[in-house]
Amino acid sequence: MGRTIKIDPVSRIEGHAHITLHLDDAGNIDDAKFHLTQFRGFEKFCEGRPFPEMPALTARTCGICPVSHLVASSKACDHLLSVTIPPTAVNLRRVMNLAQLIQSHALSYFHLSSADLLLGMDSDPKSRNLFGLLKVDPQLAKDGIRLRQIGQTVIEMLGGKKIHPGWMVPGGVSGPLSEDSRTAMLAMIPEGLDIAERTFESFKDLIGKFPEEIQHFGNFPTMFLSLITPRGGLEHYDGFFRIKDADGKIVDDMVPLEEYQRIIGEAVEPYSYMKFPYYLPMGYPDGIYRVGPLARLNNCDFCGTKQADQALDEFRALQHDRPVSSSFHFHFARLVEIIFALERMKELLESPHILDTRVRARARGNNDEGIGVAEAPRGTLIHHYKTDDDGLITWANLIIATGHNNLAMNRGIKQAAEHFVDGNHLQEGMLNRVEAVIRCFDPCLSCASHAFGQMPLRIELHDSRGNVVDQMVR
């Protein structure tokens, strides 16, 4: 009789989830599933609220990447106002979004994944964490903390606080940048770049130790979705959609952000509270694609800054003539993006009008539907609202970066489990590798728990010994 192995909880990720591995009679992997077990429901309890409240409300979705929701939500509200916001406000929003990317990528690489890479996938789980990392490589651990601090400090200087800043508003931002803050931000960038480049070089030395993981950590053909600039460059704030297939062929290009429903469909499965977006023209689940740093670097023609473009060339050398397919290389792409973010932030802070005090356009609601799209650290984030004549929200839909990767994460853990897990001679390191696949994607699960259609609901009543005595399933 087949057995089920449950990995609960999945450790060193943001949020709560478990993995089930289903074995056949011979102990081989028959199936694998990634279960998001928390439920939020922001789309429903935002209904009835005045739309100007949406940036601050939806930012509460997450304590790790609230800035990403501020950006997407503010852009959706700009659309509702039907205004063009001042250029300086756009650039200041870009600076905060890049700071968010730096701190979030640093958290993922240094704090959550580097213990696997430096201590080993089979090392003692009691020391396979940040404290273990401090013992074997204290400089790298300190670098991670400092790099994250730089990103968080920039967010605080702009928004007044590191978590849930309310500074980004419909029509722009609530206040201009001061000369003192700009000077302080620029002073941190050389140190940040030194850390980013040092880490990038050390990571390239590490990846030679993981040929099996590179081959079997979510390494399969999918499409890639991301934003790009009008010239095909790396983009995190605006631009157009691009979708590229596994052979490098552009499937869909220069798609206006307001037309996302033409290319993205949404599905649900009964075992998870996370949606399964897919490329609509190919149907579900054939329309599988990936988002995030791996997709952004695979899709763009160039980064647009000197050192990041050099790093992009090295990224592309990982798999000549076609997009990089192994999800293990999300780590590589993440480090390239940190370099880009620091360089681009410097350019923006040195731009001539960055201290301009005209940073907000004011208007009443002039549209009854607004769509805002941006690149969060983990991938493309979409906010879509509808309002009534009084500007109250009547309908909201959020498509979260982590959700886009849901099909790929499920397929990735199955591929890793089939290669590494022996159901008859189970060892901890085997299961850690399955978890490590999920860490490559750097999921943010509190963000990704969102409603679409009939959501699954299962309530169990347990007795004092933990036995299930009754249950209700919807």
- If pLDDT is split at 50, 70 and 90, which confidence band does 62 have? confident
- If pLDDT is split at 50, 70 and 90, which confidence band does 451 have? low
Which phi-psi region, left, alpha or beta, contains residue 293 (left: φ > 0; alpha: ψ -120 to 50)? alpha
Q: Is 450 annotated as a binding residue?
A: yes
- pLDDT over 90, % of the chain: 81
For residues 167-191, give the mean pLDDT. 97
- How far is it, in rounded angstroms, from Cα 80 to Cα 366? 6
The pLDDT score that the predictor gives to residue 27 is 87
**Does residue 458 register a pLDDT over 80?**
no
Q: Is 447 annotated as a binding residue?
A: yes
Q: What is the enclosing helix (H) or strand (E) of 277?
A: strand 276-279
* Helical H segments across 236-305, by residue range: 260-263, 293-299
Kindly state the tokens that stand for 54. Answer: 């949406």
Asked if residues 400 and 432 have their Cβ atoms less than 8 Å apart, the reply is no
Short-list 452, 237, 442, CA closest to 335: 442
Tens digit of pLDDT for each residue in 280-296?
999 999 999 999 999 99
The pLDDT score that the predictor gives to residue 474 is 60
Q: Is 444 annotated as a binding residue?
A: yes
**Does residue 460 register a pLDDT over 80?**
no
- How far is it, in rounded angstroms, from Cα 457 to Cα 467? 19
- How far is it, in rounded angstroms, from Cα 79 to Cα 69? 15
The pLDDT score that the predictor gives to residue 468 is 81
The pLDDT score that the predictor gives to residue 448 is 79
Q: Which residues are CB-neighbours of 190 under 8 A, at least 6 positions away?
A: none
Tens digit of pLDDT for each residue in 102-145?
999 999 999 999 999 999 999 999 999 889 999 999 999 999 99
CA distances to 84, 87, 275 from 360, rounded to whole Å, are 9, 10, 35
Mean pLDDT of the chain: 93
Tens digit of pLDDT for each residue in 200-235?
999 999 999 999 999 999 999 999 999 999 999 999
Q: Is 43 annotated as a binding residue?
A: yes
Burial label, 382 (beta-carbon count in 10 A; 0-12, 13-18, 19+):
buried
For residues 316-322, give the mean pLDDT. 92
- How far is it, in rounded angstroms, from Cα 373 to Cα 214? 31
**pLDDT top residue among 84 and 446:** 84
For residues 337-359, give the mean pLDDT. 97
What is the total residue count of the chain? 474
**Does residue 455 register a pLDDT over 60?**
no
The pLDDT score that the predictor gives to residue 318 is 96
The pLDDT score that the predictor gives to residue 463 is 81
What type of residue is 462?
H
> Dihedral sign, CA of 349, 98, 265, 39?
negative
pTM: 0.94
**Does residue 2 register a pLDDT over 90?**
no
| Range from 30-39, 239-248, 383-392, 404-413 carrying the lowest mean pLDDT | 30-39
Q: Is 65 annotated as a binding residue?
A: yes
Q: Give buried/exposed letters for 342-354 (b at 16+ CB in 10 A, else e).
A: bbbbbebbeeeeb
Other CB atoms within 10 Å distance of the CB of residue 150? 22
